[in-house]
Amino acid sequence: MPIFEKIGGFENVSVGLQWAIFIVACLIVVVGAFSICVAIWLAIKYISFNRTMNSKNISGSDAARQILDKHGLSHIKVSVVGSLLFGNSYSHYFKKVRIRRLTNKKPSITSLAIGAEKSALAIMDKEGDKDMRTRIILTPLMYFGPFALIPILVVGVLIDIILFNFTGVVTIIAASLGILLYVISFVLSLMVLKTEVKAQKKACEILKNDNMATDAEISKMKELFKLYNIQYVNDLILEFLQLLLKILEIAAKIQQNSSSKS
C-alpha cells in the first residue's frame, strides 16, 4: 500500500521505495533522539568530571608531557587549542597532542583522562601498532570520502543532463562511486574507534602503573570513555542513515523521471 501517494513529490514512486524511505526516516528520528540523550549525558559527565580535581593536581597537558617524555617521545609537542576543528587529538603528521583549552585549564579528572588517552595514541604510533599504522596511512581517505560524495554526484548529474539528456545512467554511476568512497570512509571510522578504545585502555594502565590516578578516578575515566565511544558509534550510524535517505530520494526522483518519459 503506497504511504506517500497523496504527498507531493512521491507520485509514480514504487511502494517498496516509499516504504524504504519511510523506514529510514523513522530510524533517523529514533537514532537522532537517542543521540541527543547520549550527548546530554556525556556533557553532564564531562562537565562534572572536569569540575572534580584529580588527586595528583595535574593538568591534561602536564600529564601528557610527563607520559610522552617517559616513553621517549619528547619530540611530540603538547599544544592547547580552542578550535572545534581539531579538538582533543593526536596528529602523527604534525607530531603533536592537542588538548582543548576548556579541558586543559583545570587539573581535573576529565583533563587527566584526555591528556593520557591522546598520549597513549602517540605511544601506539611509536610502538608500530598495526591498527594505528593503518589508521595513519588511510586517514586522508577517511576524511575525503564524505566530502567527495556530493561533488561527485553533482558532476554526474550535470554530465547526465548536458550530454545524455538525463538518462540516469551517469548519475547512478557517480552515486555508486560516491557511496563506495563513503562506505570506505565509514569502515575506516570504525578502525579509528578501535584505536581509540586501545588507547583508552593503555591510558588507564599507564595512569595506574605510574600512580597518576586512583582506582576511583580511573573508574570515572572509563565511564567517560564509554560515553564517548557510544556517541561516536551513534553519530556514524546517524550519518549513514542520512546518506541512505538521500540515496533513496535520488532513486525516487530517477524513478519518477523514468515514469514521466514512458
**pLDDT tens digits for 117-175?**
999 999 999 999 999 998 888 877 777 766 777 788 788 878 877 887 766 677 778 87
At CB < 8 A and 24+ separation, what contacts does 37-46 make? 38/227, 38/230, 38/231, 38/234, 39/231, 41/227, 42/224, 42/227, 42/228, 42/231, 45/223, 45/224, 45/227, 46/110, 46/224
pLDDT on residue 2 = 54
Residue 70: inside a domain: no
| Domain presence at residue 251 | yes
* pLDDT value at 191 more than 90: no
CA distance 5 to 3: 6
Number of residues assigned to the chain: 262
Beta carbons within 8 Å of 138's beta carbon, 6+ residues apart: 188, 191
How many CA atoms lie less than 13 Å away from 66 in the CB half-sphere?
16
Q: How many domains does the chain have?
A: 1
Tell whether 86 is covered by a domain: no
Give me the domain span that covers residue 245.
Answer: 15-53+128-261
Decide if 229 is inside a domain. Answer: yes
Residue-level pLDDT at 85: 47
Distances (CA, A) of 36 to 110, 221, 223, 226, 260: 21, 21, 18, 16, 41
Q: Is residue 41 part of a domain?
A: yes
**What's the pLDDT tens digit per position in 77-109?**
998 876 554 578 999 989 999 998 877 778 999
- Residue 102 forms part of a structural domain: no
Residue 61 domain flag: no
The per-residue pLDDT for 179 is 78
* Residue 5 confidence (pLDDT) above 60: no
**Confidence at 222, pLDDT banded by 50, 70, 90:** very high
Q: How far apart are the first and last CA of the chain?
A: 23
Instruction: Give the separation between CA 116 and CA 95, rounded to whole angstroms.
Output: 16
- Answer whether residue 99 is part of any domain: no
Q: What angle do CA 108, 113, 118 make, to 5 degrees?
A: 130
